[in-house]
Structure 1
Amino acid sequence: MKLTGPLLLLVLLAVAGLSRAQVKTSLLDLTNSIGSILPALSRPANHSRIFYAVMFDAGSTGTRIHVYTFINSDSAGLPVLDNEMFHSIKPGLSAYADSPEMAGHTVRMLLKVAKKTVPRLEWKRTPVILRATAGLRLLSPDKAQALLQQVQHVFDESPFLVPDDSVSIMNGTNEGILAWISVNFLTGHLKAQTQTTVGILDLGGGSTQITFLPKLRKTIESVPVADYVARFDIFNSTFELYTHSYLGHGLMAARLATLGALGAEGLEWRVFKSSCLPKKFRDEWSFGDLTYQVSGDPDGYAGYKLCYQEVLKVVKGIIHQPYQLQDSNVFYAFSYYFDRAVDAGLIDGVQGGKLEVRDIKKRAKEVCNKMTKYPPISSFLCMDLTYITCLLKDGFGFKESTVLQLTKKVNNVESSWALGATLDHFHNLKIH
């Protein structure tokens, strides 16, 4: 009898030792695309080499799930990342500070993605981990703990492997280091005796991070305090990074600081004004579990120059400028750096692109100075672009000619700390 089409594929997969569920998946792949057979057949017949991990990123403005599929490499090095399934939900867990059970519901919904992605037979040995960032760091300890306990309960009743310390708040330093590890892993720079690496700039809602591998010793020696330097071990060598996380300097927290609303009281009757907003704009705006009345200044002036003066107060004297920031480092910028560049029409929303700092400054001026006649797609776009310009120039000290690689994904994988955190879980990178 001559075997053709799906029947031949069934026999081939059965010989390869795949389970019925995996055979079903491969047939589905065949139906969707003939080309997708090749990755399925090229995977190792020994399926113990394939493993999975589920990492939750609980950020200030949303909760994201990353389901990674890895193939163990033959060497003692890092595994090969075969695939990532990504999904996100808004708002972040911190929005449920007064109703923590809703935070549990959010995580439970996202776990459905993991159940659909990871084969059922692998559930019991697939770790599920959640790391919360600035959104929970900005909450009171008791409210943050109540949210984490709800997540822990959901994890404990799930069919996945729940490691010790599976649910926690990650410190900002690790956030920067793990994002650096993610991007350098994806760009192929995280190898033994590596000569070149890329730096990272991550702009979240509540905090912002800068991390790079300095080439000049003076960059390390001139840090203001010791916690601007971090080390981790891999391939029997130690990477010594310049890294810092600025809590309260993420994009949403910076909006509050610019408006003078950070830590303010009397929110139910106060209106927070800014020259960075259109003069006739007035609305409610929420961040975390609080709602603010915000508006432009109807009796004053609006525009880039006044806006820059406002955001400069948020940045000046707080953000450290690393020595010799331009020492041949390429920087990848993501999260809100990417999102706002897309909103401003500076880069493609899928491909990303390279921008000079002056490009962001130029568009900030255009948006801010035309707000009255041409309202931007977001009333906060002037403020956000001006803050990003100020953070890069007067904060970190980048030159206007500095080129940044704006990206959302590297090799079809989300640019974030989540992959680095997953690699750290499996390989214990000894971050200190």
Structure 2
Amino acid sequence: MPQQLLLLSVVSVWLLAGFFLADATYYSHHVYNLRHRTYSHRASNMDNQLPQVVPTEPPVEVVPPRLHNFSRIFYGIMFDAGSTGTRIHIYKFIQKDPAGLPVLDNEMYHAVKPGLSAYADKPEVGGDTIRQLLKVAKKTVPKEEWRQTPVVLKATAGLRLLPEEKAKALLDEVKDVFDESPFFVPNNSVSLMNGTNEGVLAWVTVNFLTGHLYAKTRRTVGILDLGGGSTQITFLPKSKKTVISAPPSYIARIDMFNSTYELYTHSYLGNGLIAARLATLGALGADGLDWKVFTSSCLPKKFREDWTFGGLTYKVSGIPDGYAGYKLCYHEVMRVVKGIIHQPFEVKGNSVFYAFSYYYDRAVESGLIDGSRGGVVEVRDFKKRAKEVCNKMTKYRPISPFLCMDMTYITCLLKEGFGFKDSTVLQLTKKVNNVETSWALGATFDFFHNLNIH
């Protein structure tokens, strides 16, 4: 209960301060004139900017029924279409009274596998997975609120890796499914999100939920998000040298709380955990999948199997007459990381990073942390456990034959890629105050403020 009260108070403070500042009305008879929120970016490449949303049509006015006790509940639905699964986040907000500010009450989360990208050649089947998740939304959101509840889908690396025409066909199918639904479908309700947004909005979610965004100390935590197709790093630099030495497109600005946050952020497409498996095997972008067998010393010697990702099937195998183990595996995954990942100047310091998605999942599977509570580890702990898993592949094979490869890749990504010290502290978590640590909540906030919902 104290955690929930903390979360409610944090959300109230955020809304009071005008988070992602914009004119907005939250399904209420009272209009709150919040200052306009802006994003800016040092790079001239528009693909890397957090977009300004310019309404092309007048906002849709949805007038809620007048309640005698002035209490009002409303919802927002955000779909995260990732490379390995599609997730639905249903956020419930409460308007205490007409003159007050709404607060975030809770989140309903559900996921299906595989991701939309697996249906690249069958978009209508991909649409059925969205219908399945919309059934969850219908059960969660009261029927009288359906027509006033916005539904939004943002696709990430899985669709960014697809040919443009196939990605568009999937997104068009999702839009058709949304239009069939009883929920409110705003303009641009289905879109492909760029990597900069993904990293920044995940940083917003975590620092919002941990209470850092409303603290005057400007002490924040960095985030490390490891998806299937891409990986993101975002943090607030303490040293000007970090900003000066970074590629211009790696620095993003956000104006909020009467302050400007200049973030270091980048998304590495193709360096997510599953894409890295393919790259390690030499299968990423390869042809001849019908007859080629892709081998690795990161896999158990007697392992051989067909493995499907992104709608393609690969024949993968260990090396029956060769060697396997941590050292050889590390040498293989090094090729996927070395010279590709930029090393920010100050990550060699003592900053604290929250790490989630596959960082969390693999730490749980390898026994590094408890699956129900998460935990605090150092980078050296990933290395130590990776060695143990790789040198005892038979023991860990029932969990996953790819566990050695995955743990070694995570170790290599942290150390050789980003340049973290062995002593860097990582807070591994799946939820903060019972809300998923992903970009979805940050995107929902951003969406509400851009749309001017009445």
User: TM-score, normalising length from structure 1?
Assistant: 0.86
Match of 1:300 among 311, 315, 322: 322
CA positional deviation for 1:117: 1.2
Give the conservation status (yes or no) of the 8 Å contact 2:351–2:424: no
Match of 1:362 among 384, 393, 405: 384
CA radius of gyration, larger in: 1
Match of 2:71 among 26, 47, 62: 47
Give the conservation status (yes or no) of the 8 Å contact 1:197–1:329: no
Unaligned runs of 5+ in 1: 1-43
- Give the RMSD, CA atoms, in angstroms: 2.0
The structure whose RCO (Cα within 8 Å, separation 6+) is larger is: 2
Give the conservation status (yes or no) of the 8 Å contact 1:216–1:327: no
Q: Which residue of 2 aligns with 1:338?
A: 360
Unaligned runs of 5+ in 2: 1-67
Q: Which residue of 2 aligns with 1:148?
A: 171
> Is 1:169 paired with 2:192?
yes
Corresponding residue SS for 1:325: helix
> Is 1:160 paired with 2:183?
yes
CA positional deviation for 1:96: 0.6
CA positional deviation for 1:71: 2.9
After the TM superposition, which residues 259-298 of structure 1 pair with which residues of structure 2 at under 5 Å, given as runs?
Answer: 259-298=281-320
> Is 1:199 paired with 2:231?
no
CA positional deviation for 1:84: 0.2
Q: Which residue of 1 aligns with 2:276?
A: 254
Give the conservation status (yes or no) of the 8 Å contact 1:320–1:395: yes
Between the aligned partners of 2:435 and 2:266, the Cα distance in structure 1 is 24
Give the conservation status (yes or no) of the 8 Å contact 1:125–1:160: yes
Between the aligned partners of 1:78 and 1:305, the Cα distance in structure 2 is 56
Give the conservation status (yes or no) of the 8 Å contact 2:71–2:95: no
> Is 1:126 paired with 2:149?
yes
Corresponding residue SS for 2:263: strand
> Is 1:70 paired with 2:85?
no
Between the aligned partners of 1:53 and 1:405, the Cα distance in structure 2 is 28
Q: Which residue of 1 aligns with 2:259?
A: 237
Of residues 214-223 and 309-318 in structure 1, the stretch that sits farther from structure 2 once superposed is 214-223
Q: Which residue of 2 aligns with 1:56?
A: 79
Letter in 2 for 1:250: G
Q: Which residue of 1 aligns with 2:248?
A: 226
Q: Which residue of 1 aligns with 2:432?
A: 410
CA positional deviation for 1:255: 0.1
After the TM superposition, which residues 180-219 of structure 1 pair with which residues of structure 2 at under 5 Å, given as runs?
Answer: 180-191=203-214, 193-219=216-242
Deviation per CA, 1:55-110, whole angstroms, max 9, x where unpaired? 00000000000000123589999853211000000000011111100111100110
> Is 1:109 paired with 2:141?
no
Match of 1:100 among 112, 115, 123: 123
| CA 1:79–1:200: 2 relative to 1, 3 Å | farther
Corresponding residue SS for 1:324: helix
> Is 1:350 paired with 2:372?
yes
Give the conservation status (yes or no) of the 8 Å contact 1:77–1:235: no
Letter in 1 for 2:84: T
Deviation per CA, 1:350-397, whole angstroms, max 9, x where unpaired? 110011111111111011112257645210000000000000000001
Between the aligned partners of 1:78 and 1:171, the Cα distance in structure 2 is 31
Identity %: 75
Letter in 2 for 1:299: D
Between the aligned partners of 2:444 and 2:396, the Cα distance in structure 1 is 45
Aligned length: 385
Between the aligned partners of 1:182 and 1:55, the Cα distance in structure 2 is 14
Between the aligned partners of 1:196 and 1:56, the Cα distance in structure 2 is 30
